[in-house]
Amino acid sequence: DTGVSQNPRHKITKRGQNVTFRCDPISEHNRLYWYRQTLGQGPEFLTYFQNEAQLEKSRLLSDRFSAERPKGSFSTLEIQRTEQGDSAMYLCASLNGMGTEAFFGQGTRLTVV
Amino acid sequence: DAKTTQPPSMDCAEGRAANLPCNHSTISGNEYVYWYRQIHSQGPQYIIHGLKNNETNEMASLIITEDRKSSTLILPHATLRDTAVYYCIASGTYKYIFGTGTRLKVLA
Q: pLDDT (tens digit, 9 = 90+) per residue, A34-86?
A: 999 999 899 999 999 999 999 999 988 889 999 999 988 999 999 999 999 99
pLDDT score recorded for residue A22: 98
Does B95 contact A45 at a Cβ distance shorter than 8 Å?
A: yes
Does A45 contact B49 at a Cβ distance shorter than 8 Å?
A: no
**Chain A contact for B43, CB < 8 A?**
yes
Confidence band (pLDDT; 50, 70, 90) for B22?
very high
pLDDT score recorded for residue A9: 96
- Whether the CB-CB separation of B45 and A93 falls below 8 Å is answered with no
Confidence band (pLDDT; 50, 70, 90) for A16?
very high
Q: What is the DSSP string of A53-113?
A: EEEEE-TTS-TTEEEE-GGGS-EEEEESS--GGG-EEEEEEEE-TT-S--EE---EEEEE-
- Whether the CB-CB separation of B11 and B107 falls below 8 Å is answered with yes
Minimum-distance CB partner of B46 among A33, A102, A107: A102
B44-79 burial string, b = 16+ CB within 10 Å, else e?
bbbbbbbeeeebeeeebbbbbeeebebbbbbbeebe
Which of B46, B95, B102 is the best residue to mutate to test the A interface, defined by the most A CB atoms within 10 Å of its own CB? B95
Q: How far apart are CA B100 and CA A46, in angstroms?
A: 17
Average pLDDT (A12-40) is 95
CB-based contacts of A25, cutoff 8 Å, min separation 6: A4, A32, A73, A74, A75, A92, A94, A103
Alpha-helical (H) ranges within chain B are none
pLDDT single digits (tens) B23-74: 999 998 889 999 999 998 899 999 999 999 899 999 999 999 999 999 999 9
End-to-end Cα spacing for chain A = 33
Minimum-distance CB partner of A31 among B94, B98, B100: B94
**Furthest-apart CA atoms within chain B: distance in Å:** 40
Q: How far apart are CA A42 and CA A44, in angstroms?
A: 6
Which of A26, A101, A108 is the best residue to mutate to test the B interface, defined by the most B CB atoms within 10 Å of its own CB? A101
